[in-house]
Amino acid sequence: MNNDRGILEDIFEQTRLLKLEKKLKHNYALVLVYDLLFGQGIQCGGELKQCISKNKTALQSCLARLKIKAKVHRNEDLLPKGALETGSIPRYVRINRIKTSMKAVIQDFKQNDYQLVEPQNISSFVTQSKNSVDKKFMCDKHLSDVLVFPAGTDLHDHPLYVSGHILLQDKASCLPAHVLAAPSGSHVIDACAAPGNKSSHVASLMNNKGKIFAFDSDSKRLTVMQKLMKKASVECVTTRNCSFLEVDPLDVKYSNVQYIVVDPSCSGSGIVSRMDNFIDDAEDKRKKEKRLESLAKFQLSVLNHALSFPFVKRVVYSTCSIHQQENEDVVEAALKANGDRYTLDRPLPSWTHRGMAVFPGAEKCIRASPDQDYTNGFFVALFVKKESEMEQKRTEHNGVLPKRKRKHSNGVVTEPEMSSQSESTNKINNEESMLPLAHVMATSSHDNLSPKKKRRKRNKNRRK
């Protein structure tokens, strides 16, 4: 029992969990039992949760016997030092501004015997909370809609969470919406949206006004997202089950989109609760590198696609990865491909943990980590369109997107089919766009007259 995996294996053996629950795979059992006994509770649902829940009493009794044998009082005292460090990440609570306010939520917690404290920084809060039984919380120093509670605080059954007034979301994953800074009423795209935390956060910051187009190719995850939107009372989000790479940047539906969030699939290497240390790693180094190469290629393709939308002003790229290959390297490649139109900006000036200096400007990116920031590992980059490029786009299109081209099954690219009425209108728009508006209106009005009335009008003009 010299490590945390050994503790879990002992618990499995003594409770006969894996023999009783044939459907429960070993690796899943490691993660779920850890979450139950040492983490912040089981956060998944369905059949897996049921397998653990009906054995909850036996698992907790076994843990109690192990603590007596080891002569310790706290569950976490059974874990090695490394696991204790990952367990020091606080519980972060995001306020859903669509349903409530920071002031109202603070008041609610105060009425339920929680004490609002004002430590110098989050490090002080974590230190103070370790050996305290008092119910304390603080306002986050960087994000105006985030509260911080001691690690292990379980709020899954709290009325504010159940009703969608608050969301349990790691601070690092709250960064993209704040960095995007889309004003109320904006049109936004969430390129890889499910399970919906970022879309719901952007909607909250936009006061539920505007439009958010959310895309995801996983229908099951999209269903989870739709449930979250309903729970959070988000009404400005439209979901679509497809890959963002299939979305046409010239589709008039997205002509007013000026903000895009890109949070593509990644290795997840920054998420401490993944507990990769508990799971046998059958992959060799070569396979890992190949997987990272594949992920980085996909991430770059999604980011480049987002940067191709003609009227977009700000694009946020984020991952929950610690690897340079998925972070700075992807950003550098995107800048090389789009550097004539976009530049990197430095968001959240008070955030000190920055990108690795592997290319000029990389320090403008944001990094987050458990040891420095008390969050999961995370990365954020902000692309801002150059003002000269924005002015050029406005001049080129006069604020209107060109018509989409469409491929027929034979591969020939053609203009979209239009009715005779549309063709007539399009001809007027093309040929008369340079004429004074009054002249165009007069001409259109004249064309609608009968032949007899046209002759009368010509005679009247001659008399004038």
Tokens 């005292």 correspond to 77
The answer to whether 340 is annotated as binding is no
Residue 149: count of CB within 10 angstroms of its CB: 21
What does the alpha-carbon distance between residue 153 and residue 147 come to, in Å, rounded to a whole number?
12
* Burial of residue 455 (number of CB atoms within 10 Å: 0-12, 13-18, 19+): exposed
Q: Hunting for tokens 């590198």 — which residue is that?
A: 289
Between CA 335 and CA 407 the distance in angstroms is: 30
Dihedral sign for Cα atoms in the order 303, 307, 308, 314: positive
Instruction: Pull the structure tokens for residue 262.
Output: 């890109």
Q: What distance in Å separates the CA atoms of residue 293 and residue 281, rounded to the nearest whole number? A: 18
Backbone region of residue 117 per phi and psi (left: phi > 0; alpha: psi in -120 to 50; beta: other values): beta
Half-sphere exposure of 54 (CA within 13 A, CB side): 11
197 is an annotated ligand-binding site residue: yes
* Pair 188, 238: CB distance under 8 Å: no
Q: How far, CA to CA in Å, does 435 sit from each of 292, 400, 440, 441?
A: 56, 18, 7, 10
Identity (one letter) of the amino acid at 389?
A: E
Is 195 one of the annotated binding-site residues?
yes
Is the preceding omega at residue 195 within 30 degrees of 0, hence cis?
A: yes
The pair of structure tokens assigned to 379 is 């990365």
Tokens standing for residue 172: 């690092």
* Assigned token pair, 25: 């795979």
Question: DSSP string of 189-252?
Answer: EETT-TT-HHHHHHHHHTTT-SEEEEEES-HHHHHHHHHHHHHTT--SEEEEES-GGGS-TT-G
Q: What is the rounded distance in angstroms from the CA atom of residue 163 to the CA atom of residue 108?
A: 13
Please indicate if the annotation marks 216 as binding a ligand. yes
**DSSP secondary structure string for all residues of 316-332:** EEEES---GGGTHHHHH
263 labelled as ligand-binding?
A: yes
Give strand pairing partners of 147.
93, 139
Confirm whether 320 is a catalytic residue: yes
Q: Would you give the DSSP letter of residue 260?
A: E
**What distance in Å separates the CA atoms of residue 155 and residue 308, rounded to the nearest whole number?**
41
- At residue 93, φ and ψ (nearest 5 deg) are -125, 125
Catalytic hit among 51, 174, 266, 320: 320
Helix/strand/coil for 99: coil
Using DSSP, state whether 51 is helix, strand or coil. helix
Q: Binding site annotation covers 192?
A: yes
Is 96 labelled as part of a ligand binding site?
no
Active site residues: 320
Binding residues for S-adenosyl-L-methionine: 192-198, 216, 263
Binding residue numbers: 192-198, 216, 263
